[in-house]
Amino acid sequence: MTTSLLPATFDLRTLFQFDTAAPLIFSRFQFWGLFVLVFAVFTLVHRRSLLRTGWLVAVSLFFYWKTSGLFVGLLGFSILFDFLLGKAGGEARTLVRKRLILATSVTINLLLLTYFKYAHFVVENINAMFHTSFEPVNFFAAWANAAWDAHFVENKILLPAGISFYTFQCISYAVDIYRGTVKPVRNLLDFAFYLSFFPKLATGPIMRASELIPQIHKPYELTRVQFGIAVFWILNGLVKKVILGDHVAVNFVDRVFSDPSRFTGFENVMALYGYSLQVYADFSGYTDIAIGVAMLMGFTLSTNFNSPYKARNVADFWRRWHMTLSGWLRDYLYIPMGGNRGGSLFSWIMLAVIGTAVILLTGWWWLPAVYLSAVALFAVLSRYVPGLDRAVTTNLNLLITMLIGGLWHGASWMFVIWGGLNGLGLVVYKWWKKISPWGKSTHWIAHVWVVFLTFSFITFTRIWFRSDSLDTANAVLHQIANNFGLAVAGDVLWAFRSVFLVMLLGMVVHWLPERVKSAYRTRFSQLPLWAMGVACVVVVLLVYQAVTAEMVPFIYFQF
């Protein structure tokens, strides 16, 4: 069943209204209709830097209003607050004052993120640990109701779109000023652009101030080839999202994960592989469109994916997947904790916090004795075993980074488990690569094997990423272990042949050598304009046919 990309009726007033059921996202016709108007005005002001920036800031705030409603006020607060603190940090002359300003910025930004994203999670766990019945309070709704006699719900805190992404940008900006690697932005409009630029606002890439702000004052330039590449990325992203990701999700993956016990272990395994493809197509598809839209307006966004399912090991995968987040966690969390140089006080504090949470949630009161015994044994052995101290603390830093990275994705222990498993995978690989019999082999069989093994491990960890509860994850594992159903595999493959064909085609394209992909991108960019127009029409028709009855939201909008 398909649905029209055009609204059944159109009222001009709806253009300025926020509709929770229809956020303004790249896969909606309304976005592209508005973007045509935005780009038309942009062509009139693009030669004047101040007007261009002002127009893009206004458009970005409007798009965010259409995506998150009144949360545009929260974004406005972050813009003003971090701009003023950035200026204060740049003007500070003493180290104590610089540190105080940095601590204020990081604390306020993390408190906002924690309140909006983790309040329910924290309250639920407190209730579980202490058998209380607290409820989270939406203070903003309560204030609005009291001030304006409004009727906002006060016991539910909604998640603003993109808050995880722009909060990390605010923190990196403050840290970079403290480190002296960037100078504070002197113009509020420039900082507003850095934080709110609409192509990357909702789901990244996570841009650094040093990467985006210098582009603001460069003369606008869009060559014929750049225009072609931009159009290619937009079409490529739409195909990934709607034709590949949504088709696999709606017709197979979502059905299996809605009740894994109704399906055989083979179907659960294929759904996991399908989800790995879906989440990549969904997220990288969004990134492709964001890069293309930004390029049309003369801005270059950071690369966020580099064919991650070509990775030969877990470490290689995380260098290729969500590269801006991986880089952020490395530069602003892993290295400050000590990185591969050793541990820090923060490392041990975080370990104690994690251990305390596990004890309170599980009731394993014997765990402190085990923890203290392990610490004592470690202290003794460190005196007699050279390099043990560094080996343990660097792996501890890695695990903590991945656990926090997992929690960044969502307020659920499922994401923490997923992050922890990936952290363990990285630690195991660090030791395994020293003795791996095929790790350095260039033979194609060895290459295929390590790529498949890495892809399978990453897919396995996504049991907890995709499942909405531990019961769902356990049901998936149970079916795989006890009811694999290999005898019906042929029937399953035939029944869902369109899904598996799309999956196969998607993986084949993904595994194409980079020189082949670069060649057809370049060839597309050199096509005559009429041929590009034909390609656009064909893709729009394909997308129109593939759109499901209900628009499937981008997965990373929830993060």
Q: What are phi and psi of 496, to 5 degrees?
A: -110, 40
* Annotated domain spans of the chain: 40-220, 222-311+466-559, 314-432
Is the pLDDT at 8 greater than 50? The verdict is: no
- The residue among 234, 197, 243, 194 whose CA lies nearest residue 2 is 243
Instruction: Look up the pTM and report it.
Output: 0.89
What is the mean predicted confidence (pLDDT) over 380-406?
Answer: 80
Residue with the larger pLDDT of the pair 364 and 530? 530
The torsion defined by the Cα of 430, 382, 350 and 462, in degrees rounded to 10, comes to: 20
User: pLDDT-derived band of residue 60, with 50, 70 and 90 as boundaries?
Assistant: very high
User: pLDDT-derived band of residue 12, with 50, 70 and 90 as boundaries?
Assistant: low
Q: What is the pLDDT of residues 347-358, one digit of tens each?
A: 777 777 777 766
- Give kind and range of the element (H or E) at residue 167: helix 163-179
Least confident of 161-170, 371-380, 468-477: 371-380
Q: Which two tokens mark 261?
A: 């016990």
Is the pLDDT at 278 greater than 80? The verdict is: yes
Share of the chain above pLDDT 70, in %: 88
DSSP string, 56-75: HHHHHHHHHHHHHGGGHHHH
Is the pLDDT at 151 greater than 80? The verdict is: no
Q: Which amino acid is at 378?
A: F
Confidence (pLDDT) at 358: 66
Confidence (pLDDT) at 437: 78
Q: Which two tokens mark 215?
A: 């582009």
Taking all residues of the chain, what is their mean pLDDT, rounded to a whole number?
A: 86
Long-range CB contacts (within 8 A, 24+) of 398-406: 398/334, 398/423, 398/426, 398/427, 399/423, 399/424, 399/427, 400/337, 400/347, 400/350, 400/351, 400/354, 401/329, 401/330, 401/333, 401/334, 401/337, 402/426, 403/354, 404/329, 404/333, 404/350, 405/325, 405/329
Least confident of 199-203, 438-442, 458-462, 524-528: 438-442
3-class state of residue 93 by DSSP: coil
Confidence (pLDDT) at 435: 80
What is the mean predicted confidence (pLDDT) over 60-80?
Answer: 91
Q: What is the pLDDT of residues 502-548, one digit of tens each?
A: 999 999 999 999 999 999 999 999 999 999 999 999 988 888 777 75
What is the mean predicted confidence (pLDDT) over 472-501?
Answer: 94
Residue with the larger pLDDT of the pair 410 and 225? 225
Is the pLDDT at 243 greater than 80? The verdict is: yes
Find the farthest-apart pair of alpha carbons in the chain and give their distance in angstroms, rounded.
77
- The residue among 308, 309, 347 whose CA lies nearest residue 326 is 308
What is the mean predicted confidence (pLDDT) over 200-210?
Answer: 90
Confidence (pLDDT) at 347: 73
Is the pLDDT at 230 greater than 90? The verdict is: yes
Q: What is the pLDDT of residues 280-299, one digit of tens each?
A: 999 999 999 999 999 999 99
Instruction: Kindly list the catalytic residues.
Output: 409
